[in-house]
Amino acid sequence: MASRTYHDPLHRGISLDASDPAEAMVLSLVDSAPFQRLRRIRQLGPAFLTFHGAESSRFTHSLGVFSIARRAMEKLKRQDPALEQQRGVLYGAALLHDLGHAPLSHTGEEMFGTHHEQWSARVIREHAQIRDSLEHYAPGTADAVADLLERGQAERGVIKSLVSSQLDCDRLDYLLRDSYSTGARYGQLDLDRILAAMTLAPDGELAIHPKGLMAVEHYLVVRNLMYRSVYNHRLNVMCNWLLERLIQEARHLGPDHVWADSTMRRWLWGCERLDLETYLANDDLRVGYHLQRWQAEAPAPLASLCDRFLNRRLLKALDVSSLQTSDRLELLAAAQTMSESAGLDPSYCCGLRQHQLHGYHPYRGGLRLWDGHNLQALEQESALVNSLATPAESAWLIHPPDIAAELKATMRREVRLSQG
């Protein structure tokens, strides 16, 4: 197997040396059919309708996560050479952490009701190409990688932290990559300084040297801003709702009224019993083709939903975060009534989406500072990080453009009444 270099827009040359057993394993995994499928899964789902450059794939992101994990391992091995024994598990988990994503990534999970962590573990355990590549490196590697991704179990806690924590290689890459592809400037964190600050605490777990405190604070603020400005952007929220509603309608109409090939039939009407081959057969290309067929051939409500998405005839989303939950529901009812008066079916154009954003979880694998003498929780040293621990809620009322002016006027009246 020849050595290879992937030229990445963020990490520059990601070179793999086939003479190194762990990197030879990575090369073999990259060439497998399940990993090549990730080229056909958009990293940001339907966000390309909001940010026209958001076309990168899970394939590109997964290589980036591996690259960051390799750099972190080289840094930490200098403090604890015994970590070398965990290199294969770390490389495998970093590379394959998104292997089980549904079409359109996280949006697909909401559309179809799947969980990529469980499917990633299943592909690793059951797909011959993946399992054989991992087991050829060292017996037991496949199950170790699957257990890490599905259950968060690892022989060394530091390996788990690099794969899944509040400062893991996945988050470091997707914030940089999503910022780059969307054109948002919020995600430009200082990767070099963060990696340089990674260290091992006396218990062998991951910690941050105080010299990297500001870089980590910046990273956490960046993450908060990216969720507010990109991931939970009003149009992205609306597109997610639209696609979910579209799949609900296809399932409701049933196979007698909605055309679907054999793979999509299983995804629509037997998703809880999917076999591995059928799961991996679905991707963004197959979903996109079905949306086109449904736009042309499906019953009117489903065809209209597909047309909205494919031709970007999008609904509106009104920020109702400032309202109490009861007031949001009242405004949703008002939007439904207005839509009916405008001759529209509110079940296809009105909805409410609510999210809670936690900028930092002090009690869910919280980060620690270690200067060689003192070990303390990050939020105890940083008032900024402590402030991010307070959850912020966002809520969007989805509605047709036809009633936008009337709905906003109604909301203003409701706000005035609640204030006075």
Strand partners, 376: 369
| Phi, psi for residue 121 in degrees, rounded to 5 | -65, -40
- pLDDT > 90? residue 420: no
Predicted TM-score (pTM) of this structure = 0.96
pLDDT band at 116 (very low <50, low <70, confident <90, very high): very high
| Residues 6 or more apart whose Cβ sits within 8 Å of residue 44 | 51, 54, 56, 105, 178, 181, 182, 230
147 with 74, same domain? Answer: yes
282 with 411, same domain? Answer: no
pLDDT band at 309 (very low <50, low <70, confident <90, very high): very high
116 with 192, same domain? Answer: yes
- Are 149 and 163 spatial neighbours (Cβ–Cβ below 8 Å)? yes
Which residue, chain included where needed, has tokens 């996109």?
288
267 with 251, same domain? Answer: yes
147 with 31, same domain? Answer: yes
Structural domain harbouring 163: 4-226
297 with 396, same domain? Answer: no
Strands annotated E in 203-310 = 206-208
pLDDT digit string, tens, across residues 147-173: 999 999 999 999 999 999 999 999 999
| Angle of the 169-182 helix axis to the 213-226 helix axis, nearest 10 | 50
The pLDDT value given to residue 127: 98
Domain count, the chain: 3
Rg (C-alpha) for the chain, rounded Å, is 23
- What tokens does 164 get? 């899944």
- What tokens does 393 get? 């809620």
Single residue among 280, 313, 346 that ends a domain in this structure: 313
CATH of the domain at 369: 3.30.70.1370
282 with 357, same domain? Answer: no
Starting at the edge strand that comes first in sequence, how are the strands of the sheet with 316-319 ordered? 316-319, 392-399, 351-357
* Residue of higher predicted confidence among 415 and 339: 339
- pLDDT > 70? residue 1: no
Interstrand relation of 392-399 and 198-200 (parallel, antiparallel or unpaired) = unpaired
Single residue among 209, 226, 243 that ends a domain in this structure: 226
pLDDT digit string, tens, across residues 197-230: 999 999 999 999 999 999 999 999 999 999 999 9
298 with 400, same domain? Answer: no
For the chain, give the mean pLDDT: 95
280 with 335, same domain? Answer: no
118 with 163, same domain? Answer: yes
pLDDT digit string, tens, across residues 183-200: 998 878 999 999 999 999
pLDDT digit string, tens, across residues 90-104: 999 999 999 999 999
325 with 295, same domain? Answer: no
Q: Tell me the C-alpha distance between 263 and 266, whole Å.
A: 5
Q: What angle do CA 384, 387, 392 make, to 5 degrees?
A: 135
